[in-house]
Chains A and B, each alone.
Chain A
Amino acid sequence: MTKSLHISVLTSLVLLFFVVSDYHDGNLARIMVLAIYAVGYNLLFGYTGLLSLGHALFFAAGMYGLALPIQHLGVSPIEAFAMGLASAATVSLVIGFLALRTTGAAFMIVTLMFAQAGFLALLYFGQWTRGDEGFVIQQADRIIAGIDFSQSTERYFAAFVLFAVAYLLIAWLISTPFGKCLIAIRENEERAQMLGYDVHRHKLLAMLVSGTLSGASGAAYAFLFGYAGATFASVQYSILPLLWVLLGGAGTTIGPLIGTAFAFYLIDISSHFTTAHLLVVGLAIVLLTLFAPQGLAGEIRNRLISWLP
């Protein structure tokens, strides 16, 4: 059942490319890259029950881990992508090690503060990062083995492959004993501890995987769309994955993709009418916490398909 669901989700993403217009192809590529971020966030928030308000730090660690070496050291894209992943992994391990000493509201505030410090540091070292203004990664630097990833078809399928890897990785991870233990921690941390699980180590590993996936999304975004800027490290980008996961359904494999796509088109459509499109984001958050705390996929699971993973 779940296997056929995963296959049909991924096949329909491939088919969509041929069905919809170029404009939507561009949007879908962006949605899939950002959905990797949401998938990573979901592992920590949806499955482990840790609400972080500082994931933009990991996203930015991946983004700048790729963009800065390309810009200043002339590193090749593949090496730069590995550097982006390594920098996100390092940052999430260090922040996880420190922040996981706290719980509840303190954890949210600690992650928020670290992310804010990271954002301000990007502004402070504006000489290299070009701060808010950001910098463009030239088209010449976005070619691997003769394939130009600034073209829409190449970009779409690169985004698809990366998303598929992230999606299947998490779907597999939560079916392993490790994943079950994360869910046990979410449901009742003390009980999991009493049953003999090393709760701290599990949380730290969840943080590592979640942060590295977020960083992979940031690196892919910078590479495929050719831009890195400090805005991606701001509080808003810590809040967006929370919104996507809440919208789509926390603790469901498909939720992050649904939520990202839904929020993306919500903002896309509302920005035709008003410049204050964040108003829609705010209202959506308030209404969701009030009326559908389980999100879209969560509501579907409750009402229609109880086996939804």
Chain B
Amino acid sequence: MDFAPHLFLATLEGAITAAVISLTAVGLSLVFGIMRVVNVAHGEFFMLGAVVAWWVASTLGGHAALGFLAALIIAPLFVGLMAALADRLVLERLNYDLERTIVATIGLLYVIQQVALMTFGPDARPVEAPFDLRIAIPWFEFSDTGVNLIWPWGLATTGYKLAVIAAAAIIVTSIIVFLKRSRFGLMMRATQMDSEMASAFGIPVRRVYCVVFGLGAALAALGAVLIVPIQQAHYLMGGDPLLLSFIVVIIGGLGSLPGTILAAVLIGMSDGIISVFFSPTLAKILATLLVALVLIFRPHGLFGHHTS
């Protein structure tokens, strides 16, 4: 295969990473923006989503699409509820203190991961894609007779991968609409601006926190359910999405949603492309160094605004 079609394939893989990362990163960004909590256990909620998806799909049996659709509803709900419970049991008691919640979520990370190891086991397990559709991609070739349409061998994708990108775009858009248009979204934005003032106006801030923490985890789980037919479910799969979401949230500006989405596309794409042409490790080294330098020299992110 030539360079250009190869690059196109790499971009497509990058777009899938970007789609999934935008979901997890928006979850992380909501939690940080509204609650001022750095949730280190976010990656484990992602993993939990994948594990629950496998569990639902394998218990239900029947057609692959049936199991997958059930997982798409049950996994985020279950993970969201677990997160809300963790908020009530742990974070609320710590008074959402920034440093102590970081330490506590590190503890939660180990608890969730090890419970998954004890119940789900150390093996990677697949979930079947809801539909199986292989799409060959045509390519252009310039020859003596003009432009030809060719079908290079290996240049293909599955319909499911395209569906993942579309689904992520729809979910992220609906989150933005929910924040902008709904009554609860208004409460969330008010809490983000000034939680004391919001509380004075009768907004149940504690309940908002609880829902936001659940929602953030549910978004991570949703991303995991979408990716699990492409990657497999494994108890250690939370590390990479956690790192990537952190990177995305920081480059996009802590707590800024449009910045986060833009950064997700940027980081996801470049991660995909560098991983294909160089090595995934090199891609991650560059990304982590970039984050550290951005935080040092542009603490509000590349796209963030200066607030007091």
Contacts and interface: CB of A to CB of B under 8 A. Distances in A.
Interface string B268-296: 00000000000101101100110111011
Interface in A236-258: 239, 242, 246
A114 B106 contact: no
A286 B111 contact: yes
A278 B110 contact: yes
B296 A282 contact: no
Interface in A62-120: 98-99, 101-102, 104-106, 108-110, 113-114, 116-117, 120
A283 B109 CA distance: 10
B38 A279 contact: no
Interface in B246-287: 246-247, 250, 279, 281-282, 284-285
Contacts of B117: 275-276
B288 A290 contact: no
B195 interface: no
Nearest to B242: A235
A108 B279 contact: no
Interface in A268-298: 274-279, 281-290, 293
Contact of B98 (A104, A278, A284, A289): A104
A275 to B, nearest CB: 7
Given A289-B100, A290-B93, A102 B110 contact: no
Contacts of B106: 239, 242, 282, 285
Nearest to A235: B239
A284 B113 CA distance: 15
Given A246-B103, A274-B118, A284-B107, A105 B38 contact: yes
Given A282-B114, A289-B107, A106 B99 contact: no
Contact of B296 (A99, A277, A287): A99
A219 interface: no
Contact of B104 (A51, A105, A286): A286
A124 interface: yes
B81 interface: no
Given A117-B288, A124-B282, A109 B107 contact: no
B110 A279 contact: yes
A113 B94 contact: no
A121 interface: yes
Contact of A108 (B102, B114, B288): B102
Size range of the chain A interface in the assembly = 35 or more
B250 A109 contact: yes
B295 A102 contact: yes
B296 A98 contact: yes
A288 B113 CA distance: 19
A282 B110 contact: yes
A123 interface: yes
Give the most central of A108, A284, A289: most B CB within 10 Å. Answer: A289
B295 A109 contact: yes
B299 interface: yes
A59 B38 CA distance: 25
Contacts of B115: 276, 279
A282 B109 contact: yes
Contacts of B281: 120, 123-124
A114 B292 contact: yes
B90 A286 contact: yes
A42 to B, nearest CB: 15
Given A106-B299, A117-B285, A290 B90 contact: yes
Given A239-B106, A279-B115, A289-B104, 16 more contacts: A51-B103, A101-B296, A105-B38, A105-B98, A113-B288, A113-B295, A117-B289, A276-B117, A279-B110, A282-B108, A285-B107, A285-B110, A286-B107, A287-B107, A289-B100, A289-B103
Question: What are the 7 closest A-B residue pairs judged by CB atoms, nearest first?
Answer: A282-B110, A285-B107, A279-B114, A286-B107, A282-B111, A276-B114, A113-B292
Interface of A: 51, 53, 98-99, 101-102, 104-106, 108-110, 113-114, 116-117, 120-121, 123-124, 239, 242, 246, 274-279, 281-290, 293
8 contacts: A117-B285, A120-B288, A279-B114, A282-B111, A283-B111, A290-B90, A290-B94, A293-B100
